[in-house]
């Protein structure tokens, strides 16, 4: 089994983004990402700090807007509107989850599609569906990069995605389909889940349940991408895949942490650079 090193591959992606940022700077374009965090969820705070570090590495200016947990939906929407109108801001990222009193869908819909570097807006989701997109959702795009790093071609392969969320499962399936994979999406109502997974040449687990994928669900030599990030009772982080057991069967496997997580942030940097290019009429 070969380990897929997300830290190493994400570093290469960030270096590419840094080179592009430097080139834009020479053309008089400063790249800026605005990050909004509401409340003090510890996981969200870690993500935001990691995003700020990545921005610093890539030469992207990051603006943080930390709002109290009791912020109203109207106050948050007013801030989004202000950032939409600010020509110096290229990307807007509202860290999810949001407190209960705020409707996430309304907030996502309020971000202008050309500044939606998470690619959650319905316009960007629709563009991904038809294959004519500006931005790719960060986690699925990172997963594709990890699969590519193995040298295994997606074309013609049996691909199984476990999970149907709007953030990972559905867009992941579309990206695999655009690359000519034969895709099955599995979820909590899927019958014969183990049998379906065992047919996969490429298996992507995005279900949010610790150690959900066991060795008997994995085809010998398969590429296994673990999107899960779960915390066990002892405080240890683990993915959706039983790493120890599956590592004896899989051909390639991502670790948790150090697999998909760093790729998500690296792709966000790429999207922010692309947003700056689009807004300034700069072609690739």
Active site residues: 51, 95, 118
For the residues of 263-280, what is the DSSP string, one character each?
Answer: HHHHHHHHHHHHHHHHHT
| Tokens linked to 139 | 């986690």
Scanning the chain, the segments in alpha helix (DSSP H) are 6-26, 42-58, 73-85, 104-110, 122-130, 138-149, 169-178, 193-198, 243-246, 260-279
**Closest C-alpha among 149, 148, 205, 210 to residue 181:** 148
**Closest C-alpha among 87, 71, 75, 74 to residue 34:** 87
Specify the pairing of strand 182-186 against strand 91-94: unpaired
Helix axes 138-149 and 260-279, enclosed angle (nearest 10): 120
CA angle 28, 33, 34 (to 5 degrees): 130
CA angle 112, 116, 122 (to 5 degrees): 75
Q: Identify the residue whose tokens are 């700069």.
A: 282
| Tokens linked to 224 | 């296994």
**Closest C-alpha among 18, 266, 276 to residue 144:** 266
Phi and psi torsions of 52, nearest 5° = -65, -40
């Amino acid at each position: 089994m070969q380990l897929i090193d997300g830290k190493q591959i994400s570093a290469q992606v960030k270096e590419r983004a840094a080179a592009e940022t430097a080139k834009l700077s020479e053309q008089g374009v400063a790249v800026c990402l605005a990050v909004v965090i509401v409340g003090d969820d510890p996981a969200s705070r870690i993500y935001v700090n990691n995003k700020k570090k990545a921005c610093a590495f890539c030469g992207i200016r990051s603006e943080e807007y930390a709002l109290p947990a009791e912020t109203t939906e109207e106050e948050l929407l007013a801030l989004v509107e202000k950032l939409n109108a600010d020509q110096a801001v290229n990307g807007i990222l509202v860290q999810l989850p949001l407190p209960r009193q705020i409707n996430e869908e309304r907030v996502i819909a309020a971000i202008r599609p050309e500044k939606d570097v998470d690619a959650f807006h319905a316009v960007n989701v629709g563009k991904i569906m038809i294959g004519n997109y500006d931005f790719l959702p960060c986690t699925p795009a990172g997963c594709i990069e990890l699969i590519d790093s193995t040298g295994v071609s997606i074309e013609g392969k049996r691909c199984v995605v476990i999970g149907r969320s709007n953030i990972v499962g559905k867009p992941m399936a579309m990206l695999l389909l655009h690359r000519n994979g034969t895709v099955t999406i599995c979820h909590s109502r899927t019958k014969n889940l183990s049998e379906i997974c065992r047919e996969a040449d490429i298996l992507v687990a995005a279900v949010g349940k610790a150690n959900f994928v066991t060795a008997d669900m994995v085809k010998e030599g398969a590429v296994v991408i673990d999107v899960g990030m779960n915390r066990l009772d002892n405080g240890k982080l683990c993915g959706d895949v039983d790493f120890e057991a599956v590592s004896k069967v899989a051909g390639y496997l991502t670790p948790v942490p150090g697999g998909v997580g760093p790729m998500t942030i690296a792709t966000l940097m790429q999207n922010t650079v692309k947003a700056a290019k689009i807004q300034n009429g700069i072609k690739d």
